[in-house]
Structure 1
Amino acid sequence: MHAQLNGVKGVGLRILGLGLAALALGFGGAARAASPPGDVVGKVTVGYQGWFSAPGDGSPVNNWGHTNLETWPDMREYTAAYQTAYPNLGNGQPATNFSSYDQSTVNIHFNWMAQNGIDTAALQRFGNEIVPGSTLKAQRDGEATRVMNAAQTNGRKFYIMYDMSGGTTYLQSDWTNTIVNTLHLTSSSAYAKQNGKPVVCLWGLGYTWFGLSPTDGLSLVNWFKNQGCYVIGGVPGQWRTGTGDSRPDYATVYNTCNMVMAWAVGRVVDSTYQPWVSGDLAYCNANGMDYQPDAYPGTSFYNTNGPSSPKNQYPRNHGDFMWSQFAAMRNAGASSVYISMFDEMNEATSIFKCAEDSSMIPANNWFLTLDADGVHVSSDYYLRLTCDGGKMIKGQIPYQTAHPTPFTITGVTFYQDTLYGGGFGQALAKGSYTLAQLAAKGVPNDWASSVRIPPGWTVIMYSDDNFSGTSWTLTSDNSNFPGLSPNGNDVMSSCKIQ
């Protein structure tokens, strides 16, 4: 999804004014969601664009798509790469990019989600791109199938998020004819359900630019509810007061949604932020609605807008900015979170693996690198930060105002519990480690349940001492040893790190 800080430009753009007045409602005691935990309540959800294409990728578009990039991807783990017209990277490597239409790409992305505690992905589907018979609709349909496949393979959930900045004309027919009866997405075991109902999000509901009258907006929400859906309203930041970016006449429509997600890209974390989140949550609790606050790492529009938008416009501050949002949400009592976004390189809100520094971007070009704020962090840092933030929001780790996430992973780290929980051993350099040597490094026998592995490294685990017995070879993070084949939980007695 898109955010634009200086007005609408094109289709699917998000607007959130700065310096918003927040309605501070009193909030006390533990927050209670209207619904029990499901696939969105009590979960970490990311927005997933999936709209990048490339010549030769076999897609209906079969050309570069959405090339106004603000960040550059870290391509080291992709098995399919497409040569761009950019000069070589600063490190001399070819400047390649991925295609979201490539199943291997989507599999990698959803594997990263699984490795980092991301439960659910909201697949963006724009209202102007679902015209029956159009090339773009064929592109989006193919991407939806690939997302379903990747979610099933990696044990994640997904749902359709309609971006209505492109219009609402085809939403109902698209849901019935394509999503349900042609692609059969809602029949997938991976399609997100809440309260036993398939989830759908209607983003743009009630914005000042949203064209439907309150009566028609209410009819749209109720139509989806009558199809048996659990409806999330993607609403303006000031939805509760009906001011600023929100229409003043949409309160009844907002209140009809099962859940609201108030868009936050472009909002600063100042003295109004905590009252805003707490007020939204209290309002939802009082009105029998679920609440999904929105967090983002930072944003930039320099390559898209030119000098009118400064470089690094909303700085990430090496994770401090995003963590301050997580902390406010946890402090308010929120149990769910939406992350804007997983792969949004066009606005620099992407949390997936991006270029760390100038050596990883095309030479003589500007892209927002992860060291822009003066601290070097690894390309997976914002995935790991999201993992820790999700744990805090879910109450799996204590509330803390400063993030606990290391900037870089300097060696292989084994953890006592799945999803990098419990105790952890020392960071291990490359080498061979017997049972006794592992124990000396804080990794007891038959103890490990997950592992963090630096990019390009390989770990071979053995069930017995002296590199014998059953072995498992891992080339990237693994958050769930019970899911290895065969089960690798609490059985490692020695290992080799290469």
Structure 2
Amino acid sequence: MRKEMLLWASALLLFSGCSKSNLAEKSVNPLTKKMTGSTTLLSGTGDVVGKITVGYQGWFGCAGDNSPYNSWTHQNLECWPDVRQYTTTYAGDKFNQAGVQQAAFNGNLGNGQPAKMFSSYDQSTVNVHFLWMQQNGIDCAALQRFGGALNTDARDKGFRDGMATRVQNAAQTYGRKFYIMYDISGWTNFQTEMKTDWTSFMSAHTTSSAYAKQNGKPVVCIWGIGFANRPGNVTSWSDVINWFKSQGCYVIVGAPGNFSTDTANQAAYNLADMLMPWRVGATTNFQTMDANDLTYCNAHNIDYQTDIYPGTAFYNSNASRPKNEIPRVHGDFMWSQFAGAKNANVSSVYISMFDEMNEATSILNCAEDASSIPAGNYFLTLDADGTHVSSDFYLRLVNDGGKMIKGQIAYTASHPTPHVLTPPASLTPHVLSSSSIQINWSQVADAPVYNIKRATVSGGPYTTVAAGVTGGTYTNTGLTANTTYYYVISAGYINGGESTNSGQVSGKTNP
């Protein structure tokens, strides 16, 4: 099985050119026994220690987005995004699904709405993503930076450099942190080129108030050290780690899942300020692996950050793989990793990934069912295992998982996150005058705001008259006398997911 996984990982890497889908060598037990171990942080809580970090690809380009490519890039999607909350979206003529099994396409979603995509290069897109991070307790984003494309195509360098600026802007706006995560693959000579890229371009971002610092040092991650299908060896990897440390950086090393037993490469691993194992592809024994990794890191005075992912699949780009390779099981699979980490006393978490729709590890809002993917095309939907969940479910799950890791909610072996947001109940209309009606309702615990919708015909269609309302009451003014109005309310987030509508109530204004 290990050999098969590694062979698949190599194949995926060759196909994508800049993918991190090398599957972990090891791998969700029932998690019934809490392991012992120190909860003391080797480093104090900072921007990455004791925090929830997400990997952020930021590589989706669209025709017409005015990016250096200004065309469809990284559109070999396994999941389709839910774009209802974006202010700017793009339609394909046709969507260029380069390298996937299905032909390029355009047209409508299953529900008849136009099929549209977001561009990562659009600042409004990054703003939405970082707003979702803020709303869901995600502290930090690791912006991916791949050497292969930077070396061979000036358009890609322009795109990637532009993404660093956009991420910095959004992180500053929404009070999040970010840092640069270098993937060691694809560089012609990573020992020199990665250093030049840092000193000439990326280090300038460390002056931002949003750039992540740990122990007073700017954070940099070097991912891929110790992997057989990445370039380098212990000597060259050690050189790069030591160089970044000499620049005053706090260095995270992204390593294979077996780093604690990989004696051949431990001389490089042991130079890290923080170690993070890659777990995408692992399916069992998370608690044991975390406990072993944490013990190793504590013994070597290294901070530890575990890796948690929702599930994965790569069928659209490789039809020899199953359509739902490692199922999400409506959140149970991901929660088992949070529970294992909590039981092993892990305090720092990396989520793989925020927006990686190419390999179905994304936690951002994606299509719930066939009604919200392009008609006549295959994409992995969130109801693939037969349970309907809202498009923002995995963001809310990560929010709850992060709270459990941080001790803000009690440990639970089963996730507490509702699959769909609960609509408000007990709506009560109060006619106040000939021009105003007050609506009261019972608040729900799983959403902070409410959207009030109104119609003049029973059953709608409804128009949203107020969004982002807090509390349990709203007064609708400016109404027409002697007129019946019908109201429903949904619960949700500002510019985020929302519940289904509540039951309808009505009131007739005074003459």
2:125 to 84, 105, 108: 105
Per-residue Cα deviation, 1:388-430 (whole angstroms, up to 9, x for no partner): 0000011111111000000001325xxxxxxxxxxxxxx5769
Equivalents in 1 of 2:219, 2:36: separation in Å?
30
| Corresponding residue of 2:279 | 264
1:451 aligns with 2:466: no
Equivalents in 2 of 1:478, 1:32: separation in Å?
37
SS at match of 1:161: strand
- One-letter identity of the residue aligned with 2:294: L
Equivalents in 2 of 1:462, 1:4: separation in Å?
49
Alignment of 1:334-349 (within 5 A): 334-349=346-361
1:78 to 50, 71, 86: 86
1:240 aligns with 2:241: no
Tell whether the 8 Å contact from 2:221 to 2:252 is kept in structure 1 after alignment: yes
Q: What count of residue pairs does the alignment treat as equivalent?
A: 439
Equivalents in 2 of 1:451, 1:239: separation in Å?
42
CA 1:170–1:192: 2 relative to 1, 3 Å: same
1:280 to 277, 283, 293: 293
Give the C-alpha shift of residue 467 in structure 1: 4.1
Equivalents in 1 of 2:26, 2:54: separation in Å?
25
Equivalents in 1 of 2:452, 2:307: separation in Å?
29
Per-residue Cα deviation, 1:140-189 (whole angstroms, up to 9, x for no partner): 00011000000001110000000112232511000000012xxx210100
CA 1:96–1:203: 2 relative to 1, 3 Å: same
Tell whether the 8 Å contact from 1:158 to 1:191 is kept in structure 2 after alignment: yes
1:39 aligns with 2:47: yes
| Corresponding residue of 1:441 | 442
| Corresponding residue of 1:62 | 70
Alignment of 1:356-435 (within 5 A): 356-411=368-423
Give the C-alpha shift of residue 28 in structure 1: 2.4
- One-letter identity of the residue aligned with 1:356: E
Equivalents in 2 of 1:452, 1:6: separation in Å?
46
1:149 aligns with 2:169: yes
Tell whether the 8 Å contact from 1:450 to 1:478 is kept in structure 2 after alignment: no
Equivalents in 2 of 1:209, 1:234: separation in Å?
14
Give the C-alpha shift of residue 17 in structure 1: 4.5
Tell whether the 8 Å contact from 1:27 to 1:279 is kept in structure 2 after alignment: no
Tell whether the 8 Å contact from 1:49 to 1:123 is kept in structure 2 after alignment: yes
1:312 aligns with 2:324: yes
Tell whether the 8 Å contact from 1:33 to 1:285 is kept in structure 2 after alignment: no
CA RMSD between the two structures = 3.0
Equivalents in 2 of 1:71, 1:48: separation in Å?
16
CA 1:365–1:40: 2 relative to 1, 3 Å: same
1:174 aligns with 2:197: yes
The alignment's TM-score, normalised by the length of structure 1, stands at 0.82
Equivalents in 1 of 2:419, 2:158: separation in Å?
40
Equivalents in 2 of 1:111, 1:431: separation in Å?
33
CA 1:433–1:399: 2 relative to 1, 3 Å: farther
Runs of 4+ in 1 over 3 A off after TM superposition: 3-8, 17-20, 427-434, 452-468
| Corresponding residue of 1:15 | 22
Give the C-alpha shift of residue 132 in structure 1: 8.8
Tell whether the 8 Å contact from 1:258 to 1:289 is kept in structure 2 after alignment: yes
CA 1:54–1:225: 2 relative to 1, 3 Å: same
Percent of pairs with identical residues: 54
Give the C-alpha shift of residue 462 in structure 1: 7.6
2:185 to 161, 165, 181: 165
Equivalents in 1 of 2:79, 2:289: separation in Å?
30
Equivalents in 1 of 2:58, 2:83: separation in Å?
16
| Corresponding residue of 1:30 | 38
CA 1:70–1:442: 2 relative to 1, 3 Å: closer
Give the C-alpha shift of residue 325 in structure 1: 0.3
| Higher Cα Rg, which structure | 2
Equivalents in 2 of 1:326, 1:62: separation in Å?
39
1:302 aligns with 2:315: yes
| Corresponding residue of 1:126 | 146
CA 1:465–1:105: 2 relative to 1, 3 Å: closer
Structure 2 unaligned spans of 5+: 1-6, 95-105, 433-437, 454-463, 477-489, 496-511
1:139 aligns with 2:159: yes
Equivalents in 1 of 2:334, 2:124: separation in Å?
29
The alignment's TM-score, normalised by the length of structure 2, stands at 0.80
Per-residue Cα deviation, 1:444-490 (whole angstroms, up to 9, x for no partner): xxxx997055799643648998749xxxxx996159xxxxxxxxxxx
CA 1:28–1:140: 2 relative to 1, 3 Å: same
- Stretch of structure 1 that moved more, 157-166 or 122-131: 122-131
SS at match of 2:159: helix
Tell whether the 8 Å contact from 1:5 to 1:266 is kept in structure 2 after alignment: no
- One-letter identity of the residue aligned with 2:66: G
